[in-house]
Chain A
């Protein structure tokens, strides 16, 4: 499956209710004001739903920045291009 940065960005914008949010490779939770545990949960679940994947707990723990997320999506057959 092919996806774009915009596809992933849409999910971020929906979860954080931030229309202008732009993701970048080194982005972390510290870069978004209301990125708390509940939003983190919502983000992961929304990504799983959007791309029809299920992340393992180890993969979730390994997602420190957005680039990690893209890499993990790739492991699930979702190739995301920047």
Chain B
């Protein structure tokens, strides 16, 4: 990228010097930089030679209303304008993005950005639902957020399940993964979890190692994607981060889904994880989690930390929002499929070399 030094300086100045995007390989992956042209998925605003604003985005194929007709969409990420230039540049960058994509989605919008998207008439939800399963009560007890009781709050989340299910794990060469999306109506609003999407999102990730577990045949699998994160700060522990979970909704699919989530939790427990969490907007897939013993975290209380590098024992939620072209439907959150995999919600907290290794 021709202006890499300028970009890195902008990111370092306006985010943090150790923000993960200051690592070139992370930046190039995140914004899909083309190796031959250096072009990135980002609109930039300049004042002469000075970079003063950016609007990054992730172009994605989505379903928006039906699982038989893909639509072009984009996640807005790293939408930032320097303070001295905030006279409309920010939303101008957003307008440019909306001109290019009929559906633009965001996750974890800053308060300043929320003001703009609200004014633009976007749909906004303050909190993506979070589901928890405690795997090691002793470890999890060391990671409590304030005013959380081990007995009253954590013990009911303790996972005690067993399973005989043995998932099949996908890898880059798993060419048979090709779900018939008509069997997955709960995914009618959200990014299509295709082989190519997995290829970029998970297999090519420059920092994290993701596991893509499946049960059932690969034309109609139950799928669970997770990684194991090592906490840092005042307590070291492993935490299972489920970033994708979906299955066909017929009885066979639901059984495969339940068996799969049991298998994944058993695996995480064997690997010594303190707890596992899963952010998911879908009401349907939430039910599968609940039937497998997960519990939904109360909207107003943080039981166990979300941010782990380092541990932050305080409330943290992912807001989620979308703006759509006039002719397209506007769903409610429960009918969508959005998870922590989406946008840049599941991003490295800092430069890769500074992260704790599990």
Which residues of A are in contact with B by a Cβ distance under 8 Å?
29, 35-38, 40-42, 44-45, 56-57, 60-61
Cβ–Cβ contact A35 & B87, under 8 A: yes
Closest to B94 in A: A57
Cβ–Cβ contact B119 & A42, under 8 A: yes
- How far, in whole Å, are A35 and B92 apart by their CA atoms in the complex? 15
Residues of A within 8 A of B115 (CB): 38
Majority SS at the chain A contact face? helix
**A40 to nearest B CB, angstroms?**
4
B87 touches which one: A37, A56, A57 (CB < 8 A)? A37
**B111 to nearest A CB, angstroms?**
13
Some 21 contacts from A to B, beta carbons below 8 A apart, are A29-B87, A35-B87, A36-B87, A37-B89, A37-B90, A37-B91, A38-B115, A38-B116, A38-B119, A40-B87, A41-B88, A41-B119, A41-B120, A42-B119, A44-B88, A45-B120, A56-B99, A60-B88, A60-B92, A60-B95, A61-B92
Residues of B within 8 A of A60 (CB): 88, 92, 95
Closest to B86 in A: A37
**A22 to nearest B CB, angstroms?**
21
**A73 to nearest B CB, angstroms?**
17
Majority SS at the chain B contact face? helix
Which residues of B are in contact with A by a Cβ distance under 8 Å?
86-93, 95-96, 99, 115-116, 119-120
- How far, in whole Å, are A44 and B87 apart by their CA atoms in the complex? 12
**B53 to nearest A CB, angstroms?**
11
**A35 to nearest B CB, angstroms?**
7
- How far, in whole Å, are A61 and B43 apart by their CA atoms in the complex? 13
